[in-house]
């Protein structure tokens, strides 16, 4: 076949190009749409809200609570004040989102951002108060009130109900009575504790560090709150004027001599409202004595809940729940309180201000509870200083009864 040369002028070329472009335009449009969708695709972050196109994703939002806590400790130890300040700001944002912070000065941000203190985020705070009962069941029983401003609160409580009286004759005079209220001013107090740990822990999994921080906070708060509730000189219910006191009979000067009858009588010595929702608080020594006793049928007089840890015993006695408090009956002596009974949820208040503050140190010395001095530099240790602001109040001390050994 003879080859023929076909000459296509510019007009024909343009026409062909237009036809080809028109033919593939749907495919071009589809690719554009796909590209736009990918660019606008919503980014999902585990446990966080959706982030749309144009919004800058803070890398801190993607960190787990464990990794975040470790980052704060590391920044504090290395003196990276800029990083710690950034982490603190993010923690403050989480507290505001959780409704725990409403004012800029609520956590004294000017202090917490100075590079020595870190602010626990909302997740860590929630976990701290979740594990409190495992260290002291009593510490989480009272009603909690968090101050949003100021450092004190006036608490008014009903002390006497209206009295109904019979009107003897038709049209006779009715006795007028009114509710009586009591008022108490409760101001927060500052408390601090120090926990020691080794730097080796920083090289372990972040979840382990997080658990140590959480439990250290919780232990410190639980131990201090239990003391505030029971034995503190100004707030402890065992030392309050107006509390009902049951003293064992003469010569019953040790916990071993307290009787089951003495303990069973306690709910009948407080008002019905306190007895109805009341619970016992026992010393470990008293529970040990009660647990060794049996009723007339040979059954134990106390029932201890299964799965209790050694530091958080609880159960039932005489039909009422009980918990053990380490701060009660620490010595077996005369005039020593070994049991308290009352409705702590209704007639006890924990007043809190702000959240928890913490500082981490890797230099200096710390003296522990056993009077041992720890040199943080030489021993490659860390000191975690925990501070919180709270107080305990009992507007009606007469709603509680204590049981103590005889004076002689």
The yes-or-no verdict on residue 6 having pLDDT over 80 is no
What average pLDDT does this structure show over 66-70? 85
Q: In terms of C-beta density within 10 A (0-12 exposed, 13-18 middle, 19 or more buried), how is residue 352 classed? A: middle
Q: What is the pLDDT of residue 23?
A: 61
Q: What is the pLDDT of residue 89?
A: 83
Q: What is the pLDDT of residue 48?
A: 43
Residue 142 contacts residue 399 (beta carbons within 8 Å): no
Indicate the helix (H) or strand (E) that contains 18. helix 10-39
Least confident of 43-57, 74-88, 110-124, 364-378: 43-57
Q: What is the biggest distance separating any 2 CA atoms in the chain, rounded to whole angstroms?
A: 137
Would 248 be classed as within a structural domain? yes
Would 200 be classed as within a structural domain? yes
Question: Between the CA of residue 234 and those of 139, 186, 203, what are the distances in Å?
Answer: 17, 11, 43
Would 252 be classed as within a structural domain? yes
Q: Which of 6-15, 38-47, 50-59, 295-304 is predicted most confidently?
A: 295-304
Q: What is the pLDDT of residue 156?
A: 58
Least confident of 10-14, 37-41, 170-174: 37-41
Q: What is the pLDDT of residue 66?
A: 85
Q: What is the pLDDT of residue 112?
A: 45
Name residues whose C-beta falls within 8 Å of residue 403's C-beta, 6 or more positions apart in sequence.
246, 247, 248, 258, 262, 263, 266, 337, 338, 339, 340, 341
Would 221 be classed as within a structural domain? yes
Phi and psi for 209 in degrees, rounded to 5? -60, -45
**Domain tally for the chain?**
1
Q: Which residue has the higher pLDDT, 185 or 259?
A: 259
Confidence category of residue 248, pLDDT binned at 50, 70, 90: very high
Residue 247 contacts residue 407 (beta carbons within 8 Å): yes
Q: What is the pLDDT of residue 113?
A: 44
Residue 352 contacts residue 147 (beta carbons within 8 Å): yes
Would 173 be classed as within a structural domain? no
**How far is 402 from 263, CA to CA, in rounded Å?**
10
pTM exceeds 0.75: no
Q: Give the pLDDT confidence of 290-330 residue by residue, as tens digits.
A: 999 988 888 899 998 876 654 568 899 999 999 999 899 98
Residue 8 per-residue DSSP state: -
DSSP string for residues in 215-273: HHHHHHHHHHHHHHHHT-TTT-GGG-TT-EEEEPPTT--SGGG--HHHHHTGGGGS-HH
Q: What is the pLDDT of residue 95?
A: 78
Q: How far apart are the first and last CA of the chain?
A: 135
Confidence category of residue 45, pLDDT binned at 50, 70, 90: very low
**How far is 116 from 307, CA to CA, in rounded Å?**
39
Would 255 be classed as within a structural domain? yes
State the SS3 of 338-388: EEEEECHHHHCEEEEECCCEEEEECCCEEECCCCCEEECCCCCEEEEEEEE
The yes-or-no verdict on residue 219 having pLDDT over 70 is yes
Confidence category of residue 174, pLDDT binned at 50, 70, 90: low
Question: Closest Cα partner for 217 from 38, 380, 67, 73?
Answer: 73
Q: What is the pLDDT of residue 19?
A: 67
Would 20 be classed as within a structural domain? no
Give percent above pLDDT 70 in the chain: 70
Q: Give the pLDDT confidence of 84-109 residue by residue, as tens digits.
A: 888 888 888 887 777 665 544 334 43
Would 152 be classed as within a structural domain? yes
Token couple for 152 = 């004190």
Q: What is the pLDDT of residue 47?
A: 38
Cα 47 from chain centroid (whole Å): 21
Q: What is the pLDDT of residue 49?
A: 46
Cross-strand bridge partners of residue 160: 180
**How far is 304 from 313, CA to CA, in rounded Å?**
7
Residues in the chain: 408
Q: What is the pLDDT of residue 239?
A: 93
Domain that holds residue 389: 58-158+180-408
Cross-strand bridge partners of residue 381: 198
Helix locations, 81-139, DSSP H? 81-97, 109-112, 122-135
């Amino acid at each position: 076949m003879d080859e023929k040369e076909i000459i296509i002028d510019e007009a024909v070329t343009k026409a062909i190009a237009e036809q080809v472009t028109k033919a593939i335009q749907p495919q071009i449009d589809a690719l554009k749409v796909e590209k736009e969708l990918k660019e606008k695709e919503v980014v999902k972050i585990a446990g966080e809200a959706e982030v749309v196109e144009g919004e800058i994703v803070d890398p801190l939002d993607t960190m787990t609570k464990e990794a975040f806590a470790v980052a704060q400790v590391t920044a504090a130890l290395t003196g990276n004040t800029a990083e710690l300040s950034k982490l603190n700001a993010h923690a403050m944002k989480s507290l505001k989102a959780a409704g725990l912070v409403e004012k800029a000065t609520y956590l004294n941000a000017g202090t917490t951002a100075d590079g020595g203190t870190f602010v626990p985020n909302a997740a860590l705070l929630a976990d701290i108060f979740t594990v409190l009962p495992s260290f002291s069941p009593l510490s989480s029983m009272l009603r909690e009130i968090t101050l949003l401003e100021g450092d004190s609160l006036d608490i008014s409580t009903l002390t006497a109900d209206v009295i109904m009286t019979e009107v003897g004759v038709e049209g006779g005079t009715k006795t007028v009575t009114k509710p009586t209220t009591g008022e108490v001013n409760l101001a927060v107090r500052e408390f601090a504790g120090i926990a020691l740990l080794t730097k080796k822990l920083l090289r372990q999994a972040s979840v382990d560090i997080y658990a140590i921080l959480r439990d250290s906070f919780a232990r410190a708060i639980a131990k201090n709150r239990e003391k505030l509730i029971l034995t503190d000189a100004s707030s402890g219910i065992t030392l309050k004027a107006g509390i009902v006191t049951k003293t064992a009979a003469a010569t019953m000067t040790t916990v071993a001599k307290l009787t089951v009858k003495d303990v069973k009588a306690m709910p009948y010595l407080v008002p019905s409202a306190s007895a109805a929702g009341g619970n016992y608080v026992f010393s470990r020594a008293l529970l040990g004595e009660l647990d060794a006793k049996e009723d007339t049928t040979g059954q134990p007089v106390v029932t201890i809940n299964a799965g209790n840890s050694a530091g958080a015993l609880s159960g039932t006695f005489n039909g009422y729940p009980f918990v053990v408090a380490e701060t009660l009956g620490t010595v077996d002596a005369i005039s020593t309180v070994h049991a308290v009974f009352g409705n702590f949820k209704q007639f006890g208040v924990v007043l809190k201000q702000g959240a928890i503050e913490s500082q981490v140190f890797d230099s200096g010395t710390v003296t522990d509870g056993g009077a041992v001095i720890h040199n943080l530099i030489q021993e490659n240790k860390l000191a975690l200083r925990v501070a919180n602001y709270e107080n305990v109040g009992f507007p009606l001390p007469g709603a509680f009864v204590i049981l103590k050994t005889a004076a002689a």
